[in-house]
Structure 1
Amino acid sequence: MHVVATAGHVDHGKSTLVRALTGTDPDRLEEERRRGLSIELGYAWTVLPGLPAPGEVAFVDVPGHQRFLATALAGVGPVPIAMLVVAADDPWMPQAAEHLAALDALKVSHGLVVVTRADLADPAPALARARAEIDRTSLAGAPAVVVSGRTGAGLDTLRDTLVRVLAEVSPPPADADVRLWVDRRFHIRGAGTVVTGTLPAGTVAVGDQLEAVDGSTVRVRGIESLGTPRERMSGVARVALDLGGHAPDAVARGTALVTPDAFSPASVVDVALTGDGRVPERPVLHLGSALVGVHVRPLGKDFYRLTLDDPLPLRIGDRAIVRDPGSRLLWGARILDPSPPALGRRGAAARRAEVLLDHDGTLAAELRTRGVVRRSLLRRIGAPLAPLPDGALVAGDWLVAPERAAALRADLVAAVRAAGHGGLPVAAAAHRLDVPDPALVAALVAPPVVSEGGRLTLAGASLPPAATQALERLRGHLADTPFAAPTAEELDRLGLDGATIAVLHRAGLLLRLAPGVVLLPDAADRAAEALAALPQPFTTSQARQVLGTSRRVALPLLGHLDATGRTLRLPDDTRRLRG
């Protein structure tokens, strides 16, 4: 399905045009028909030959009167394609300019221009002015069509042009997280609460559970689209969801229904704004069908921090509109960080702007900015999760930037040394390092720090001579075959009895994978490098062959790689490297 939103000045023929294309009047309210103008969002649909089956096209007809701009933006916000309508018998009008500015702010790049009422005036001047205006926006180069809704002239050309425009739009991923912006809520006797909206991406199915921004959940009891019951719908699509008789009051126009645990409601967000004029301190933010008041704090270099009156499920890269209801100026907003750090000391705003200016949108930049962050948070705010930069630390759900990990390891050595001979408990080390989870401390442990019995100590400055000699012999044994762990007989010849192995393991000088299976400390990193050459995912047999070792060694080594976050074991017992 394709969804197209109308745009343009009041009484320029948007609803007439939709009615001519679909055979359905989008003005559904008695007052709209009486006054001859759209007040609420209107909906109609048709099937266009020339599109892949089923060729369904839904139209969201927005009001053109300046008093209803907020309603118009609620209809345009989630829709990726626009039809800008201008009348041949009128000059270029303020609402056409305002709607076009909104489309440009949202970076809508697919659409067309329709000059209506060609039977009432020469359409050439209106067409030339519209072309000059749109070519300064994200719709530059959009095709233009001249029609008469009254006589039907040009409608076939309009349909053909619309088919060409729609064919250029790539379908969004059907497996994306759902974020349905609600634009209507009403009650149907015998069914319950019904909400409608434009589904930009993802798939909704009967029986699915969706979440509102306040944490309440609803279950989809039925789906209707274009007047037909459906079992499931994928975006882009117009959908009506039956939520039963007990839908929370929080589900209303301007709210979003989302995949549970896939978004983080944002109350403070850093954005880049584009547009002319001074941004006021208290404008409003339009995103999807939402309209919320915001408090603006300039950061510098076109970057701003917005504090929202009501939280919204935002993601990095979202496009929104910041509007001043007084001056009617508006700015395009690009969401840069829906979970920004607090601003404290003097000069923090300017330093934050510099960080945002240097941010290149990669995972490495996210880690560099945040230092320590949960992978699950990055996913919820739409940040990239790969590739993991060299030197980054993985500890369960936590990711640590390479620079931060190196600094924390140095701080850990200093803290353990300061603790003296008795060592330092892991929980106390987490407090000293000011990290949010003791699991991070465990992942930071590396020579000369060793962990034993829940306490961290420094490896002894001197080892027993027998242990030192055994270690040198082990290094020689593994020099050419780093994954050929010595057998029991070879361990005896090398002088590696159980006590000596324990001493060297505590000192971080060898890697004990299992009883009687030992390698050098860098074996895990070297194994990950070797496994990167394999097609992903890979089998245990393929891993054993590329490592040049036996199953006796390969199995515990792969288990160690799983436990340390280097590899991920899949349900079919294959593995792949993380990142």
Structure 2
Amino acid sequence: MKIDLILGTAGHIDHGKTTLIRSLTGTDTDRLPEEKRRGITIELGFAELDLGDYRLGIVDVPGHERFVRQMLAGATGIDLALLVVAADDSVKPQTREHLDVLRLLDIQAGVIALTKVDMADSGWIDLVEDEVRELVRGTFLERAPIVRTSAVTGQGMDELRGALHAAAAAAHERSAQRLKAPFRMAIDRSFTVAGHGTVVTGSVATGSVQVGDSLLLEPGEIEVRVRGLHNHDRPVERVQRGQRAAINLAGVRHEQIVRGHELAARGHLQPSRLLTVYLDVLPETPRPLKRRERIRFHAGTAEVLATLVPLGCDQLEPGKSGFAQLHLQSPVVTTWNQPFVLRTESPVATVAGGHVMVPAARKLRRPNAETLQDLAALRADEPTTRAAAAVYFRRAALGPSQPIGSLGRCRRAGRRVAAVDLE
């Protein structure tokens, strides 16, 4: 039985991501007439690569700085990354920004492809490879293979398939446990099909769903029913974590759905406009992130304006980490430890990211040392400590509950907490 995983591309505009995917799969992921006319990727594209044991659903993302928001939506739910750098152009701004996004989204496996090696001499390619190695030092791609490729001559394609197979094996162990969780899928496209009605697409993040199941469309708690399922244009009875899915829905109109909505099993998600998070500010960020700063919040396929409130300090310096609350303009659905990315409002640039600690939070005006210590328990390695903290801070997946007093007092009293899968 094949193991399904999601592969996402990353890299600067015109570095050959789409051409490389076409050489690997035979599929042209540029769908729009404007993409064909301009020769650049504007929207997300999709393909499938069969590697024997593994079947990769590929999400091809735009490389232009104007379309980083589309890249962020496409990176949702991916298991491994293919970082593409053109041998005749080397590392460029969106190479760096896309790598930052992958790191902030907690991707742990990947491969680097040097494209267009037929357009540069070997000495120059050696220099570019050195620059790429320097770029990825200290990241999840530090030990990743760098494969020299040419879509024109076919050089490196077999080697690239082998490298992707090895990366898929590394990613599988981490992703397997997510199959056991309740179904969840962030929506990246919505459209209508004559005779069928509303169809949404996305990468299945957790769990599985089959034809006939009922789900909730969030935010909004709209109950829908699965009328039909497709995986890469094949009709199927079931889709699961690690697969691309097109889901024909009953109970909702196409106009009610936008990118950023999610489909989930009932009771799994709770919309909220206030999140408590643990934030990592990128070292390259040009200035501190200050209290009450307006920021763009990206999680799943959603982009929402938010106000940042650091906890325990007035600002977060570049390269530093800390707890904060995000006051969102509109509700989102998240879960504990879900990664997210922050970008400045204007000019738009990726400056930080982190993990959600409390998906449906209550406002913390001036948290004291004990509250910050309790928040730190949400990041503990010990699962029961995290579970106790999750209950205390009203973790969304458990449903709303009243505060149960001091987390420390709960521990000292030996209060037992029901087992919760927080992975």
TM range (shorter): 0.7 to 0.9
The equivalent of 2:117 in structure 1 is: 118
After superposition, give the CA deviation of every residue in 1:303-362 in whole Å (9 maximum; x if it has no partner).
111011121221111111011143513212111112333334xx4366643432355544
**Partner SS, residue 230 of structure 2:** strand
Classify 1:323/1:377 alpha carbon distance in 2 versus 1 (closer, same or farther; 3 Å): closer
Give the C-alpha shift of residue 248 in structure 1: 6.3
Among 285, 290, 296, the residue aligned to 2:297: 285
Contact 1:216 1:248 in 2 (8 A): no
**Partner SS, residue 180 of structure 1:** strand
The equivalent of 1:270 in structure 2 is: 276
After superposition, give the CA deviation of every residue in 1:164-183 in whole Å (9 maximum; x if it has no partner).
11112222443311120000
Give the C-alpha shift of residue 405 in structure 1: 6.9
- The higher-RCO structure (CA 8 Å, 6+ apart) is 2
- What TM-score comes out, normalization by structure 2 length? 0.85
Contact 2:81 2:110 in 1 (8 A): yes
* Amino acid in structure 2 at the alignment position of 1:279: L
* Amino acid in structure 1 at the alignment position of 2:42: I
Give the C-alpha shift of residue 379 in structure 1: 2.9
After superposition, give the CA deviation of every residue in 1:253-296 in whole Å (9 maximum; x if it has no partner).
11111111111112111111112342251111111111111111
* Amino acid in structure 1 at the alignment position of 2:10: A
The equivalent of 1:310 in structure 2 is: 330
Contact 1:192 1:246 in 2 (8 A): no
Query: 2: distance between equivalents of 1:254 and 1:216?
Result: 15
The equivalent of 2:315 in structure 1 is: none
Give the C-alpha shift of residue 138 in structure 1: 2.9
Give the C-alpha shift of residue 566 in structure 1: 11
Give the C-alpha shift of residue 143 in structure 1: 1.6
The equivalent of 1:387 in structure 2 is: none
Classify 1:349/1:115 alpha carbon distance in 2 versus 1 (closer, same or farther; 3 Å): farther
Query: 2: distance between equivalents of 1:354 and 1:107?
Result: 24
Q: Does 1:133 align with 2:135?
A: yes
The equivalent of 2:61 in structure 1 is: 62
After superposition, give the CA deviation of every residue in 1:23-53 in whole Å (9 maximum; x if it has no partner).
010001111011000000011113223x2xx
Among 214, 219, 223, the residue aligned to 1:217: 223
- What TM-score comes out, normalization by structure 1 length? 0.63
**Partner SS, residue 119 of structure 1:** helix
The answer to which of 181-190 and 251-260 deviates more is 251-260
Whichever of the two has the greater Rg, that structure is: 1
Counterparts of 1:153-192 in structure 2 under 5 Å? 153-169=155-171, 170=173, 171-192=176-197
After superposition, give the CA deviation of every residue in 1:98-140 in whole Å (9 maximum; x if it has no partner).
1001111112111110000010113222221111111232332
Contact 2:378 2:389 in 1 (8 A): no
* Amino acid in structure 1 at the alignment position of 2:157: L
Query: 2: distance between equivalents of 1:117 and 1:205?
Result: 42
**Partner SS, residue 179 of structure 2:** coil
Among 212, 216, 239, the residue aligned to 1:207: 212
After superposition, give the CA deviation of every residue in 1:183-224 in whole Å (9 maximum; x if it has no partner).
001111011111000002200110111112211111110000
Query: 2: distance between equivalents of 1:306 and 1:320?
Result: 12
Among 324, 340, 349, the residue aligned to 1:320: 340
The equivalent of 1:86 in structure 2 is: 85
Contact 1:8 1:96 in 2 (8 A): yes
Give the C-alpha shift of residue 302 in structure 1: 1.7
Contact 1:355 1:369 in 2 (8 A): no
The equivalent of 1:19 in structure 2 is: 22
Query: 2: distance between equivalents of 1:206 and 1:167?
Result: 29
Classify 1:366/1:80 alpha carbon distance in 2 versus 1 (closer, same or farther; 3 Å): same
After superposition, give the CA deviation of every residue in 1:149-176 in whole Å (9 maximum; x if it has no partner).
1111110110111111111222244331
Query: 1: distance between equivalents of 2:369 and 2:407?
Result: 25
Give the aligned length. 391
Query: 2: distance between equivalents of 1:155 and 1:215?
Result: 46
Contact 1:286 1:322 in 2 (8 A): yes
Give the C-alpha shift of residue 247 in structure 1: 3.1
Query: 1: distance between equivalents of 2:252 and 2:238?
Result: 22
Structure 2: unaligned runs, 5 residues or longer: 313-320, 419-423
Contact 2:5 2:78 in 1 (8 A): no
Classify 1:196/1:359 alpha carbon distance in 2 versus 1 (closer, same or farther; 3 Å): closer
Counterparts of 1:46-445 in structure 2 under 5 Å? 46-49=49-52, 51=53, 55-121=54-120, 122=122, 123-169=125-171, 170=173, 171-212=176-217, 213-244=219-250, 246-247=252-253, 249-275=255-281, 276=283, 277-279=287-289, 281-300=293-312, 302-327=322-347, 328-344=349-365, 347-348=366-367, 352-361=371-380, 362-364=383-385, 367=388, 379=398
Classify 1:138/1:89 alpha carbon distance in 2 versus 1 (closer, same or farther; 3 Å): same
Query: 2: distance between equivalents of 1:141 and 1:332?
Result: 23
Identity among equivalent pairs (%): 34
Contact 1:172 1:236 in 2 (8 A): no
Query: 2: distance between equivalents of 1:68 and 1:566?
Result: 44
Contact 2:306 2:329 in 1 (8 A): yes
Give RMSD over aligned pairs. 2.9
The equivalent of 2:318 in structure 1 is: none
**Partner SS, residue 168 of structure 1:** helix
Structure 1: unaligned runs, 5 residues or longer: 382-395, 409-443, 445-564, 568-579
Contact 1:192 1:245 in 2 (8 A): no
Give the C-alpha shift of residue 377 in structure 1: 5.0
Structure with the largest fraction of helix: 1
Give the C-alpha shift of residue 231 in structure 1: 0.2
Query: 1: distance between equivalents of 2:242 and 2:390?
Result: 34
* Amino acid in structure 2 at the alignment position of 1:128: D
Contact 1:191 1:244 in 2 (8 A): no
**Partner SS, residue 117 of structure 2:** coil
Classify 1:68/1:201 alpha carbon distance in 2 versus 1 (closer, same or farther; 3 Å): same
Contact 2:335 2:397 in 1 (8 A): no
Classify 1:294/1:349 alpha carbon distance in 2 versus 1 (closer, same or farther; 3 Å): farther
Query: 1: distance between equivalents of 2:85 and 2:183?
Result: 34
Query: 2: distance between equivalents of 1:132 and 1:234?
Result: 37
Among 41, 44, 48, the residue aligned to 2:47: 44
Counterparts of 1:472-491 in structure 2 under 5 Å? none
